Each structure stands twice: as structure tokens, then as C-alpha cells.
Structure 1
Amino acid sequence: MVPCIALSKGRLEKAAIDFFEAEPLVDKGRKLCIETNRYRFIFAKGIDVATYVEYGIADLGIVGEDILLEYQPDVFDLFPLSFGQCRFSLAGKPGHIVTGPKKRIATKYPNITLNYFRKRGESVDIVKLEGSVELAPVLGLADAIVDIVETGSTLKENGLVVYDDIRPISARLIANRSALKVKREVLKPLLERFQEKEVGA
């Protein structure tokens, strides 16, 4: 049985496809499941990649570290990859002063945000958003946001600045716990290939 690898759609997709340059993935169109001579690939949203790996549908997955930090799926976090590098940041309007008793923070990542402020000894109200969180401070919904920042251009274009860089993140290679044991010999060459490529990156 060929190894099954789940890849994140979106910002990590191109880099993941480039890693498997010998596989016919570039012209995959809208296909979400592709089988080649060596691997089977599943394309899904980041959180779904983690779920497919956790439940053994996929043996390995490439996912953003944000998914692992926020949702804490039951998978092996094997090692970081050299692409998908960005950071979690706290951002808002320049010189904005919070006048209420509590900061209101908009984010797609409530658990990461609460942990960050808890370590600072601060209590905050979380506004959970799924779309463009940059709108929240602009329209007065929140005092600040916690989000992934890559270049900072989206913040700048919306008149926001970074208050604090929370932590760097990158793409991660994850594995199903059982697959690492049961399919060890099948997965070993692929894991070695990942490690060799990362060392040479």
C-alpha cells in the first residue's frame, strides 16, 4: 500500500507541491485526491489535514504550526519544515489606547490568544472571526487582533501596526501515531527524503 499524504490547501499548498516535484500535482486542477505510482495525496483545509492524519486516513501530513497550537490534534509532530515561515502577532491601530475595563481581541485563534494574554497576566474578551480579522479594529469591533503575519503588507494597507510578535511558526510534518509503527518500513524512505531536503534547504 502506498503512503497517503495529506497536504494543506491555501498558503502552504504551492510549497508542498514543489517538494514533490516529480509527482503530477502541478496540474491537478480541482482534484482533492490524487494517486501516483509512489503516493496517494489528499488536499484539504489545514484543520482537516490534521483530522485525516489523526484518524489514520492519511499516514503523514503537512500542516501549519498554527493548527497544532490551536487545536492540539492527537498526532506526532515530527519536525519543522523550511517553508511556511511566518509569525503570530498582536496588532492594532497606531497609538490606540484601551479605555474600557478589558481589551477586546479579534482572532481566528482563541486558544492561542487566551494563552498569550494569560501569560501576561491579562484578562481579555475574545471575538472569534473566520474572515479578515484586520477589519475588526478598523471598524471598532475590537481593540486589537491576534493573527498570522507573513510580510505585514495586509496590516499596513489597513492602517494597522504590530504591537508584539508572539512567536514564529512554520509548516510542520505530522504523522499518524499507529502508521509510524505499522508502516515504519514503508514510510522510512519518505521521512529520510524529507530530512535530507530540509538539511539541504
Structure 2
Amino acid sequence: MTQPLIFAIPKGRILDDALPLLAQAGIEPTANFFDKADRSLRFGSNRNDMDLIRVRAFDVATFVAHGAAHIGIVGSDVIDEFDYADLYAPVDLNFGHCRLSVAEPKERAQADTLSHMSHVRVATKYPNLTRRYFASLGVQAECVKLNGAMELAPSLGLAHHIVDLVESGRTLKQNGLEETAEIMPVSARLIVNRTALKTRHAALAPLIERFRDLAEAGKAAA
């Protein structure tokens, strides 16, 4: 008996936009998915050939890259941070738009010139992207890995700079920080395990095309 496809979806900001898109693609989680008291991480769906797992965004990429899940939705920031060879990202889903940016205290932002620095300490959950960005400027970045509350790092002396996702910039302003550089734009992507695409092509290829059509329709309507 063929095992069900495993579709990995992220907790957090992308989930609210992902669920309507999944429904349009004909995929709906079972009722316990929406029960906040239910601590399950794997759920059935309206399709007998598909289960869903709900995990942290960074873990979506890992589950799909290693074949534990066959397909998933995650931000392009996560894809680029890990750069897994076995991860294929065929569709920009055209939601979850934000940017990965550098920020620092407002009073320092006007005085700091990165081109004159050789070393900076940066608080971030994106150490690989951060190091690559600062290296392109000729600056060595010492990354302090945090999984949240990045905006606290400068005021508490943990790091002078942060690298984090920015949408409106409101959180930065409320914490006395100023966005000083954009590293990359970010949006949600459909990802597929490359091996699964070969071994489960009959099931995955139509899904990819369905999501591609929905993303194109969304762009046309915007």
C-alpha cells in the first residue's frame, strides 16, 4: 500500500495565508487541526492520500529536504538560509511578502558606515545569510543566534546590529531601531523533495501545477 503524501506547513505568520490557498487546491485539514487544545503535529486531510504536519518554519525545510515530508510551504528566507541541495522550490506563491533586513539603534544608524568596519556582532536566526551579506561588504560578521526577541539585543548590549524579517517596520520603531539595509525580499514558496518528485511524480506534479495556476491567478487579480 502506498504511503500517504506528507505536506509540511509552517506555524506562524505564513499559516493564515497558506490555509485558504490549500483549500483552493483541494486540500483541507481534519477538524482537529483547528482545535487549539489538540497537541497533535500530524493531521489527516480530506484526501485519503495525504496527511499534513504542522511544524516550525525552519523545520519545514528540513523535513522536506530529508524526505520525511514530500512537499511543503515555507518562506524563501528559510530556503536560502539552509540551501539544501535536495530542496526544489518550483512556485512563488505570492503571499507572505516581507524582507530580510539589517537594523540597528536609531542613534547609531547615522554614524555607522559598514564599509569602514572589519568586524560586527549581529543578533539573528539567519547566520548563513547574515555572514554572506556582510562578507559581500568586506565585513566579518560574528553571529549571535537567537530564535526571537531580536529587537532586545542592541539595547541589552548583546549585539550592535540585528538581521531579521521586516514587514511594516513598526516593531523596529517601537524598540528604537532603524532599518539600514535590505538583504533580500521574501515570499512564501512551494517546496518539494527532489527524490520524491521522481518517485511520486504522478501525485506531486499535478499539485505543483495546481499551486502554480493559483499563484498566477492571484498575481493577475492583484
TM-score scaled by length of structure 1: 0.91
Q: CA separation of 1:195/1:142 partners in 2, compared to 1, >3 Å: closer, same or farther?
A: same
The equivalent of 1:4 in structure 2 is: 6
Alignment partners' CA distance in 2, 1:18 and 1:27: 17
**Counterpart residue type for residue 133 of structure 2:** Y
1:30-179 matches, within 5 Å, as 30=38, 31-38=40-47, 39-73=50-84, 74-96=86-108, 97=111, 102-179=119-196
The equivalent of 1:186 in structure 2 is: 203
The answer (yes or no) to whether the contact 1:17–1:25 under 8 Å persists in 2 is no
**Counterpart residue type for residue 36 of structure 1:** S
Q: CA separation of 1:89/1:78 partners in 2, compared to 1, >3 Å: closer, same or farther?
A: same
**Counterpart residue type for residue 87 of structure 2:** V
Q: How much does 1:13 deviate?
A: 1.1
Alignment partners' CA distance in 1, 2:173 and 2:143: 23
Task: Spell out structure 1 runs of 4+ moving beyond 3 A.
Answer: 24-27, 97-102
Tell me the secondary structure at the aligned position of residue 95 of structure 1: helix
Alignment partners' CA distance in 2, 1:26 and 1:10: 19
Structure with the higher helix share, 1 or 2 = 2
The answer (yes or no) to whether the contact 1:108–1:130 under 8 Å persists in 2 is yes
Alignment partners' CA distance in 2, 1:186 and 1:13: 23
Q: CA-atom RMSD, angstroms?
A: 2.0
| Aligned residue-pair number | 201
Among 14, 18, 27, the alignment partner of 2:20 is 18
Identity %, equivalent residues: 43
**Counterpart residue type for residue 93 of structure 2:** L
Q: CA separation of 1:27/1:138 partners in 2, compared to 1, >3 Å: closer, same or farther?
A: same
Tell me the secondary structure at the aligned position of residue 83 of structure 1: coil
Alignment partners' CA distance in 1, 2:182 and 2:87: 27
Tell me the secondary structure at the aligned position of residue 37 of structure 1: coil
Q: Give unpaired runs (5+ residues) of structure 1.
A: none
Alignment partners' CA distance in 1, 2:128 and 2:68: 26
What per-residue deviation string (whole Å, max 9, x for no partner) do you get for residues 131-184 of structure 1? 211001122221111111111111011111111111101111111111111111
Q: How much does 1:101 deviate?
A: 6.6
Q: CA separation of 1:6/1:120 partners in 2, compared to 1, >3 Å: closer, same or farther?
A: same
**Counterpart residue type for residue 79 of structure 2:** L
**Counterpart residue type for residue 175 of structure 2:** N
Q: How much does 1:102 deviate?
A: 3.2
Q: Give unpaired runs (5+ residues) of structure 2.
A: none
